[in-house]
Structure 1
Amino acid sequence: MKVLLTGGAGFIGRWVVKQLLNEGHQVWILDDLSNGREENIKEFINHPGLMEFIHDSILNETRLEELFEKNQFQLCYHLGASINVQDSIDDPRTTFNNDTIGTFYILEQCRKHDTKVVFMSTCMVYDRCTDETGINEEHPTKPASPYAGAKVAAENMVLSFYHAYGLPTVVIRPFNTYGPYQKTGGEGGVVAIFINNHLKGDKLSIYGDGTQTRDLLYVEDCARFVVSAGFSDAVNGEIVNAGLGKDISINELAVLVTGDPKNINHVEHIHPQSEIQKLLCNSKKANRLLDWTPKVTLEEGIERTMTWIQQGGLQ
């Protein structure tokens, strides 16, 4: 199929590109490189299935019109977004423009060309988990940051195009994803940051008391989930979660990485109001509709990520 992938030079996008190419599809990547890096997709540049890398923004409507008209995409994976919670609090306009307005521009082109949309949302739209059955798709949302608010707004637009126009769309909410090619600094890279600091002999810094938990999903499992959502009619018009199904406190994660609690520092939280105390995913819907289950344990995923960083992974 002819596939447009926004944000394809990003961390998760890179693995989605790899799977799509392995499956024999023709792939166009659109990325403004605000989060992504050309180095992430360097190995694919000469692949016969990678048709073009376009360095541009999803906010460039004229460019989007040209791309859709010229290439007649059958499927669009929309991963391009501002993803930093702290940045969204400091500069909500940029996040809103990229994540909400940019998504609308993508939807308009997909509507004109009858192109299915797989929209990458986030577990950060949810309120905290309250029991051990985990967060399913019916769980209350709580946009505790402008990032989450922009994603919720975009989700509603994505689903409205399904209901109003019959456009095949799906909203996917992967939980905290980690693995090779994730930046070792910045938002969302707690595993990579911890591993990198551990390998450098630095102490691991934890925001707050460290009792907050995360459901950590290995990136190749995430990419399988993302890709499968594009090729299933069963998820059209749906919201679907994906996670490991086990949560771990940040304190426990730090000990798992460093092996020594003495190598851990607790520091004051920058934006405590946007912290979600407990995140635990219920992926039963993904299993039922997509036959998807995670394959990589947290311990194995950490080992793979550590090996990648030790071997000179991108910083």
Structure 2
Amino acid sequence: MMNQQHLCLLLLVTCIVVGTLFYIKQPTSYRHILRQYRKIVISHLQSNTYLESFLSTDQYVLHDGSDCIYYDNKNGLFHPNTKHPRFIVTGGAGFIGSHLVKRLTQQYNPSQIKVLDNLSHGRLHNLQYADGTWSISTTRDFCLVDLRNVHVALKYVTGADVVFHLAKVFSTSNRSSALYETSLVKVNVMYAMKLNTIANLVFAEGGWPTKLNSSVPLSEKLKQYENDLVHSHEFNIGVVRLESVYGPNCDYTDLNEQIVGWLIAKGLSADKDSLTRWSVREEHRDLIYVDDAVDGLMLVYEEGMNKGVLDVRSDRRTSTKELVQMIGNVSEEKLGRRVTGSYEFTSGESDEESYGDGKNILRWRPKVKLEDGIWRTMTWIGENQNKPRVLVITLGQLRGGPLAWKSLHKFLLKPYNAHLALHISDFTSRTYLHDIAQYIWMEEEHKDWGVVLQLVSETCGNEGIVGKWREYCNIPGLFMGGVANCNHRSHTSVSFAFRWMLQQKISKLQLLDKYDWFILTRADELHLCEHFDFTTMTESDILLPTDEHYNGWSDRHLIARSSMFMKMINITNELICRPDYWRNKLEGVDYELNIEVVQKLIWDDMGLTVSEHPRSIFIVRSSGDPASWSRGRSHPELSRFNLKVKYPRELKSSKIYCKTRNITHMMESIREYN
């Protein structure tokens, strides 16, 4: 572990290098500003007591936009034929940003809007409407990037006419570093805009208490530096100052960032927490509903550029006690019960009032009364507080055809408002699934999937076992098919390889924090009716459909909570990193070794429990699908749709659960689904 001095030196050298890059070939006024920036950064190094945790993050490298559709240095994420004006919204999956994106899509084509976010605080769910539809295409118009990296900012903050900068770094434990990093992101965005000749920048000030404590010694210097940038005349700038914004999509788990949402959420769960007394500070705030805040941002873009900092304020300051009383009154009127928790009010410092020309210049007035905004926020929290967040992941080739894909959408994604990730190894043409997916992860197709398994063995941290996994090929069975010079049939090693690569993706994107349930499935599964309600599962770690277990547990459709999912798919690491242990285990099995058997042995060894649910899905083969194992059987009810059933027992069980003898009419309804 590096000591504090080494960390300080490393960050100092890094900042000097970055500052030098900024400095080269800049106008005199800009050089002065960048010179001041380096002084501020160096000063911050000398006073920051959290450098070790600050430097240990690897998000700067991980969220580099590598999965985004990128055209060229001039257009960036925009197709060269995209019409103008073009917009970039940084932090566009966050609270205010997502509402701004939806507002922009009401006036412009979604292809004219790109969202940059690292999802550390934002959520893809925020970009959805209440009916589950999307404001933008998340595979085309959303890019997962971390703008604290100046090179990332230079690459992706380009091709637009307008940047709405709403990205902000949050930290409940280290406000000093969060403030510094927020300023760093803003600097990087401005620098990219200058070099890439983007004409207009709109950003929001606010969210930080005006009276910061002594642990944030750089607040005034940072404010002055940003003020110098604002007046550098490198591009048109509109600045709107917001104080306390509330409404749907807020993070109601964070009292410091969202007082209205937090109080409502605590009130709604008061029955569960009846013995808990919460401590809150008595402060006065100017509360603005999020739609009104977005109105302010749009008005600044339309009428307030280069006119200084414009305040968007209601001029009604509400105390915490008044807010609690108001929430109780609204809930009593609308719900017939009083939604309020038990609170102890402590003394706090109210935000200082600021004065600006927002109302005079913008002609802005709040449209949503505080009582109405509270009710809208309460309704949203009530609907979403306990709603499960589900991610469905398809592995491997996209087989099955449009009917199977539409059935997935109709009977699984839509009912559970689930997001879809395609983890695929080929991309011959765009499909229905590409159009509805939120994530598309491409992997190289290998003739020898042992290349991936060898990589796994090299990451085990034990040089003595590197390559020993190849001894599995000496054991009769099916589970290592797809590895060169291995006589096992089938291509099961592809599944092992993909599961390991999937673990890397989930860790990189921090998806365990963003979803409650994960479903690992195949694209060629046809859903005959609505999927069994897996969210009711409480007694087991893993949920599987009935049938097709082959002396073990089926690997075709796996369901687990986020807390168990990574462990459930960890069979690749188990096999590759513990070769001696598992070779002895497998050699003792007296029946054919397939992936189902191997999976069950490993799950049993881990202590994972499994339950079965009624089956509503069966695997089909569409004309043109590759087949290394079952080529499918003709079926009179499927032949008219150019499909074959791979495993007839699956179809039989699905018909029983879906309560039908003839599936023709169901297939017709799936074909007509849009």
TM-score (normalizing by structure 2): 0.39
Aligned residue number for residue 267 of structure 2: 198
Q: Distance in 2 between matches of 1:145 and 1:24?
A: 45
Quick check: 1:158–1:169 contact (8 Å CA) kept in 2?
no
Question: What secondary structure is seen at the aligned counterpart in 1 of 2:87?
Answer: strand
What's the CA shift string for 1:68-104, capped at 9, x where partnerless?
A: 44xx2111111101245x4344xx224312x111111
Aligned-residue sequence identity (percent) comes to: 22
C-alpha distance 146-33 of structure 1, shift in aligned 2 (>3 A): farther
Q: Deviations along 1:104-136, whole A, 9 cap, x unmatched?
A: 11011111213311122106454xxxxxxxxxx
**Aligned partners of 1:207 and 1:267 also within 8 Å:** yes
Query: Structure 2 residue aligned with 1:305, among 373, 377, 400?
Result: 377
For 2:100 and 2:221, the matched residues in 1 are separated by 24
Q: CA deviation at 1:279?
A: 5.2
Shift of residue 246 of structure 1?
A: 0.4
In structure 2, how many angstroms separate the alpha carbons of the residues matched to 1:306 and 1:148?
38
The one of 176, 180, 184 aligned to 2:244: 176
The range that moved more, 215-224 or 115-124, is: 115-124
Corresponding residue of 1:224: 295
TM-score by length of 1: 0.79
Aligned partners of 1:46 and 1:261: how far apart in 2?
Answer: 32
Q: Distance in 1 between matches of 2:124 and 2:353?
A: 33
- Specify whether residues 29 and 301 from structure 1 end up closer, same or farther in structure 2 by C-alpha distance, changes over 3 A only: same
Give, as a single letter, the amino acid of the residue that structure 2 aligns with 1:35.
H
**Which position in structure 2 is the counterpart of 1:42?**
128
Query: How far apart, CA to CA, are the structure 1 residues paired with 2:349 and 2:178?
Result: 23
Q: Residues 183, 79 of structure 1: CA spacing in aligned structure 2 closer, same or farther, 3 A cutoff? A: same
Residue 13 to residue 314, structure 1, CA distance change in 2 (3 Å): farther
Tell me the CA shift for residue 30 of structure 1.
0.6
Hey, what does 2:184 align to over in structure 1? 101
Which one-letter code corresponds to 1:57 in the other structure? Answer: D
Once the 2 structures are TM-superposed, how far is the Cα of residue 61 of structure 1 from its aligned partner? 2.0
Inter-partner Cα distance in structure 2 for 1:47 and 1:261: 35
Other structure's SS at 1:295 match:
coil
Match of 1:55 in 2: 144
Identify if the C-alpha distance between structure 1 residues 215 and 163 changes in structure 2 by more than 3 Å, giving closer, same or farther: closer
C-alpha offsets along residues 185-227 of structure 1, whole Å, 9 cap, x if unaligned?
113211111111111224673424x2x2111110100011112
User: Any idea what SS the aligned residue of 1:216 has?
Assistant: strand
Task: Say if 1:213 and 1:250, in contact at 8 Å, map to a contact too.
Answer: yes
Gaps of 5+ in 1: 127-141
> Is contact 2:91-2:166 (8 Å) kept?
yes
The answer as to whether partners of 1:125 and 1:149 remain within 8 angstroms in 2 is: no
Matches within 5 A, 1:276-315: 276-278=349-351, 285-312=357-384
Q: 1:55 to 1:196 in 2, by over 3 A?
A: same
Counterpart amino acid of 2:156? L
Are the structure 2 counterparts of residues 166 and 65 from structure 1 closer, same or farther at C-alpha, using a change threshold of 3 Å? closer
> Corresponding residue for 2:228?
160
Whether the 8 Å contact between 2:241 and 2:310 is mirrored in structure 1 is yes
Alignment-mate amino acid for residue 169 of structure 2: S
Distance (whole Å) between structure 1 residues aligned to residue 144 and residue 138 of structure 2: 18
Q: Which residue of 1 aligns with 2:205?
A: 121
Residues 225, 146 of structure 1: CA spacing in aligned structure 2 closer, same or farther, 3 A cutoff?
Answer: farther
Q: Is the 8 A contact 1:27 1:50 kept in 2?
A: no
* Residue 308 of structure 2, aligned match among 210, 232, 238: 238
What RMSD, in angstroms, separates the aligned Cα atoms of the two structures?
A: 3.0
1:12 to 67, 92, 96: 96
- Please give the alpha-carbon distance, in whole angstroms, between the structure 2 residues aligned to 1:224 and 1:314: 30
* CA 1:123–1:190: 2 relative to 1, 3 Å: closer
Hey, which bits of structure 1, 4+ residues long, moved more than 6 A? 145-148
1 CA distance for matches of 2:122 and 2:245?
Answer: 15
1:81 aligns with 2:160: no
**Pair 1:207 & 2:286 matched:** no
Structure showing greater relative contact order (alpha-carbon pairs closer than 8 Å, 6 or more residues apart): 1
Bigger Cα Rg: 2
- Alpha-carbon distance in 2 for matches of 1:63, 1:159: 24
**Structure 1 residue 311 displacement after superposition:** 2.3
Aligned mates of 2:312, 2:206 — CA distance in 1: 10
* Partners of 2:86 and 2:113 within 8 A in 1: yes
- Secondary structure class of the residue paired with 2:173: helix
